[in-house]
Structure 1
């Protein structure tokens, strides 16, 4: 079917970022590559995070660790929560986390994400992150990989028997014990480890040998559509909103963007 409209709004969300990038290429919608986040989901016992959890449900810790000084941040903190697996289009398995109102675990999980900014001539950051995820999935036979921090620092993989007797019981029961460093880019892994060691000075026990790291944690919002203050793209009558546009990174900012776009459309 062919539909015609004076105003069209695309707001496909983060999962639609790859699709929107293809549409931008196909229809020559002005855009440019933005950052892509590659990281891990960390799980520790609630006692470790108690001083933080008591005052902040979701803390936001940001650092620029040496030697690369990329931005590294915490994201999506879940006190008493559970690590989970979700599958993107094409079957890519990525790790996430959530909390329940009534049901609680003995652990807190949160993401640690390393932002990568690419320059010319490379312009496919989403595909780059997907390849990292595919390599990790290959090592885990289609499931999430988990490794103890102590094993990473000792240069060895984690074995299932070691995971079973660990003081931190993984809340993702079917995660595969292995070696996430075999698939994680060196730059990202170095940044994450340096960041965790610094956080440990503020939150003692955060970088304990028993701390669990799950991989891959990926955030796709790298296609940044070029727009004016009314969210108008280079194609007449087309506006793009939300995480897929590359300009927001969460529900609150995406909601504000939708509200402002609504006011702009009402005045059009």
Structure 2
């Protein structure tokens, strides 16, 4: 759903569907049958080209926070649209939302009174990660269905990651060597479900937090192998608490959440 490919005409057709042609599409709920290019195109053909109609209502979609999907669950995304005036009889509003790369957006009717409209949708654990677009639009009544407003926001859908850290010794002498090993996994779709698998080629930072007043600091970096494993051997001179951190990544076609491992203590004795 690259925004430039989502024509105003197509969304106008969807709004006609939401506001007039299909009353079963309840306000604030997702169309259970999903979007259909044929349905939208057929309605758009009768709605006229609204893309050249100047907006008559100022609208703003509030900023949307990034979300991290939950395995075997879903995350609710709440959308608020603020208008310069209330919608009048015969005027309707809706959202198109989905991954920026999707050819067909999901269509969601909008509810509300006065100058504040609200809608919500769920992002499931099998959803595509990366940049998502929420495009709000309002149209007037028949027969021309003029465009009243259009406003959009982007946010990122991230997949969760998990990271572990272990050491081969819990106690070492000053100047002794300790091997730290760990594993970085990411949640990926597997058909209609999801599963964690090794995350290759990622940078992991190992932090040491010494006993006392010294702040924690990065003592090593490592790149994960093809299976998501990483390892570093360090020479220790003081007792400290260690953690491994993955910083995450955000891109248009994929996004992964940052994660820090559970901590472990290695005692250093003389």
Larger relative contact order (Cα-Cα within 8 Å, sequence gap ≥ 6): 1
Give 1 or 2: higher helix fraction: 1
TM-score normalised to structure 1 length: 0.24
Name the larger-Rg structure.
2
Give 1 or 2: higher strand fraction: 2
TM-score normalised to structure 2 length: 0.24
